[in-house]
Chains A and B, each alone.
Chain A
C-alpha cells in the first residue's frame, strides 16, 4: 500500500489546509473575544468593550471566507468519506464560532452599559459560568486541532452544568431585584449576560458534536440519555484497519 498520509492531488491537501488554517484563525479571534467579554465587565474596561464590538466584523468576514473556501473545495474536488466530513465540519464550526462571537458582542454591549453605572458586586456571580464556558470552548478547539474524540465527547454533558448555573444565577438575581428595585435594570442586564454565556455554551456543544462527526462519522446530536459517554460507546463503523485475509467473507453485508 502506498503512503496514504497525503492526497494524490497535492492541491487538495493545500486547499484543506488553507480552510483549516482560516478556521483556526477565526477560532482564536472568537476565543479571545469571549474571554475578553467578561473581563471588560469585571475590570470595567470600556475600551476593551469597544475592541470586542469592532473585532466582530473581522470574525464575520472569516465566516464568509471559510464558507467560500469550503464551497470551492467541494466544487473542485468532490471529497468523500473523512475528507467530506472535514470540509462540512469546518463550515459548520465557522457558523457556530461566529454565533459565539455574536454572544461576546452582546455581553460587551451590556458590559459597556453596566460600566457606566455604579459597581454592583453581583457581577461576580457570573465568574464561574464564564470560566466554564471559556474552558469548554478551549477544550473544543483543542479537540479539533488534535482530533481528540474523547475530549470532544466529554464537552456536551458540560453544557447541562452551564444550563444549571444560568438557572441558579437568574434565580439569585431575581431575589436581589425585589430587595433593590432601584438597580433592577442592572440586574436584568446581568441575567441577559448569563443567558448569552449559556448560548455560547450551546454553540460550543454544537462544535464538539460536529468534531465527533468529523472524526468518527458518528452523529451524536439529539441523543438524550443515549449519548455516548466515551469513544468506546460509539457504534464502531468508523474507519478501521484494512480487512484481513478473508476480506470477501467478512465484507458481505
Chain B
C-alpha cells in the first residue's frame, strides 16, 4: 500500500515512473488527471462534471467569469477546498498517477508538493525577507544554516528577486513593493521545491511592470514546474499559458492549446466570452 511517507519523499511516485508513461517516453506526462469532478459548497454545485488532463511542465490557464468555479477547481488540486466547511467532492484527481484523495494521503504533505500563490501577496509581517523564503523549510524541521542560506538565494534568484533584495535580506518582507512581495511569495512557494505551482490571480493586484515581471517569472519557472494559473485577464492567459481551460457556470466548456482557443475556439460560448460578448 502507498503511504503518506511514499508520496512525501519520492517526488513523482515510483509506480508512475515504471508504469505506462515510462514505457512511452515520447508521450507528454500528465501531471493531473481530473475525472468527472463535482464539488458542492453546501447546496451550491460549484464544479460540474469536469474531466481534464493537465500536462506536466506546461502552463495551464483557467479562465471564466466570476463565480464559474475557477478558483474552486484550482483548490481541488491541492485539497485546499477541504478547509471550507460543508464542501463535498465526487470524482477523482490523479497526481502523476496517484489518487490525491486516497485515505492514506496527508493533505499537508500534498500541499508541500503542490505549492500555491494567492491573489494578494501575503508575506509574514513579522519575518524578514530571508525568513519569509525559508519558513516552509524550517517548518519541515530543516535547521542547517548553510543549506537554508543556499536555498534562500536559489529561490530568490529563481523568483527574479535576488538582485533587488540581496542587500535587504534582513528587512521585513512587508517593506517590499507589491510586485516584490508577490515574487517573494513565489520564492517562498518554490523554496520547498514543489512539483506544481498553483496560482490564483497572481498578478491581479500588481501594476503593469510588476505584472510583466511576474509573467516572465512564470514562463521561466515552467521549465521546471507544472503551473496552473487562474486569471481574469485573458490577455495574460493568452500571453503566458500553453493550454487554456474555459469554465462557465461550473462546467468545462473548452480545453485547448492557448493559441487555438484565442484564435479559433471550438465552442461558441468560448468565442462569445473571450471576445467580450457576455461575462
| B217: min CB distance to chain A, Å | 22
Q: Does B53 contact A (CB under 8 A)?
A: yes
Q: How far is the CA of A9 from the CA of B279 in the complex (A)?
A: 12
Chain A residue nearest in CB terms to B246: A251
The residue from A8, A239, A248 contacting B50, defined by CB atoms under 8 A apart: A248
Q: What B residues does A81 contact at CB under 8 A?
A: 262-265, 270-271, 274-275
Given A81-B275, A239-B264, A239-B266, A247 and B251 contact (CB-CB distance below 8 Å): yes
* Cross-chain contact A4 with B277 (CB below 8 angstroms): yes
Number of B residues with CB within 8 Å of any CB on chain A: 38
Contact residues of A between 195 and 253, Cβ < 8 Å to B: 217, 237-243, 246-249, 251-253
Q: What A residues does B252 contact at CB under 8 A?
A: 247-248, 251
The residue from A12, A242, A243 contacting B276, defined by CB atoms under 8 A apart: A12
* Cross-chain contact B267 with A243 (CB below 8 angstroms): yes
* Cross-chain contact B278 with A1 (CB below 8 angstroms): yes
Q: Chain A interface (Cβ within 8 Å of chain B)?
A: 1-2, 4-9, 12, 78-85, 217, 237-243, 246-249, 251-253
Q: What are 6 of the A-B contact pairs (CB < 8 Å)?
A: A2-B277, A80-B263, A81-B264, A241-B268, A251-B51, A251-B252
The residue from B36, B37, B268, B275 contacting A242, defined by CB atoms under 8 A apart: B268
Q: Does B52 contact A (CB under 8 A)?
A: yes
| B176: min CB distance to chain A, Å | 30
Given A80-B238, A81-B263, A248 and B49 contact (CB-CB distance below 8 Å): yes
The residue from B52, B235, B256, B276 contacting A248, defined by CB atoms under 8 A apart: B52
Q: What A residues does B270 contact at CB under 8 A?
A: 81
* Cross-chain contact A84 with B263 (CB below 8 angstroms): yes
Q: Does B96 contact A (CB under 8 A)?
A: no
Q: What A residues does B235 contact at CB under 8 A?
A: 78
* Cross-chain contact B264 with A238 (CB below 8 angstroms): yes
| B150: min CB distance to chain A, Å | 40
Q: What B residues does A247 contact at CB under 8 A?
A: 49, 251-253
* Cross-chain contact B266 with A80 (CB below 8 angstroms): no
Q: What B residues does A2 contact at CB under 8 A?
A: 277-278
Contact residues of B between 141 and 176, Cβ < 8 Å to A: none
Q: Does B216 contact A (CB under 8 A)?
A: no
7 tightest CB-CB pairs across the interface, nearest first? A217-B264, A248-B51, A2-B278, A4-B277, A4-B272, A242-B269, A248-B252
Chain A residue nearest in CB terms to B51: A248
* Cross-chain contact A252 with B269 (CB below 8 angstroms): no
Q: What B residues does A248 contact at CB under 8 A?
A: 36-37, 48-52, 251-252
* Cross-chain contact B276 with A251 (CB below 8 angstroms): no
Chain B residue nearest in CB terms to A7: B276
Contact residues of B between 225 and 279, Cβ < 8 Å to A: 234-235, 238, 243, 245, 251-257, 260, 262-272, 274-279
Chain B residue nearest in CB terms to A12: B276
* Cross-chain contact B257 with A80 (CB below 8 angstroms): no
The residue from B263, B266, B279 contacting A240, defined by CB atoms under 8 A apart: B266
* Cross-chain contact A9 with B276 (CB below 8 angstroms): yes
Q: How far is the CA of A241 from the CA of B266 in the complex (A)?
A: 8
Q: What A residues does B254 contact at CB under 8 A?
A: 243, 251
**Residue of A7, A78, A83, A243 contacting most chain B CB atoms (<10 Å):** A243
* Cross-chain contact B275 with A82 (CB below 8 angstroms): yes
* Cross-chain contact B277 with A8 (CB below 8 angstroms): yes
Chain A residue nearest in CB terms to B53: A252
Q: What A residues does B275 contact at CB under 8 A?
A: 7, 79-83
Q: What A residues does B265 contact at CB under 8 A?
A: 81, 239
Contact residues of B between 185 and 242, Cβ < 8 Å to A: 234-235, 238
Q: What A residues does B53 contact at CB under 8 A?
A: 252
| A66: min CB distance to chain B, Å | 21
Q: How far is the CA of A142 from the CA of B271 in the complex (A)?
A: 25
**Residue of B255, B257, B277 contacting most chain A CB atoms (<10 Å):** B277
Q: How far is the CA of A253 from the CA of B267 in the complex (A)?
A: 13
Chain A residue nearest in CB terms to B33: A252
Given A80-B238, A241-B268, A242-B268, A252 and B253 contact (CB-CB distance below 8 Å): no
* Cross-chain contact B277 with A80 (CB below 8 angstroms): no
Q: What A residues does B264 contact at CB under 8 A?
A: 81, 217, 237-239
* Cross-chain contact A85 with B253 (CB below 8 angstroms): no
* Cross-chain contact A7 with B277 (CB below 8 angstroms): yes
* Cross-chain contact A80 with B278 (CB below 8 angstroms): no
* Cross-chain contact B253 with A243 (CB below 8 angstroms): yes
Interface string of B35-62 (1 = CB under 8 A from A): 0110000000000111111000000000
Q: What B residues does A78 contact at CB under 8 A?
A: 235
The residue from A6, A12, A240 contacting B268, defined by CB atoms under 8 A apart: A240
* Cross-chain contact B271 with A253 (CB below 8 angstroms): no
* Cross-chain contact B260 with A237 (CB below 8 angstroms): yes
* Cross-chain contact A8 with B269 (CB below 8 angstroms): no
Chain A residue nearest in CB terms to B48: A248
* Cross-chain contact B263 with A4 (CB below 8 angstroms): no
The residue from A8, A238, A242, A243 contacting B279, defined by CB atoms under 8 A apart: A8
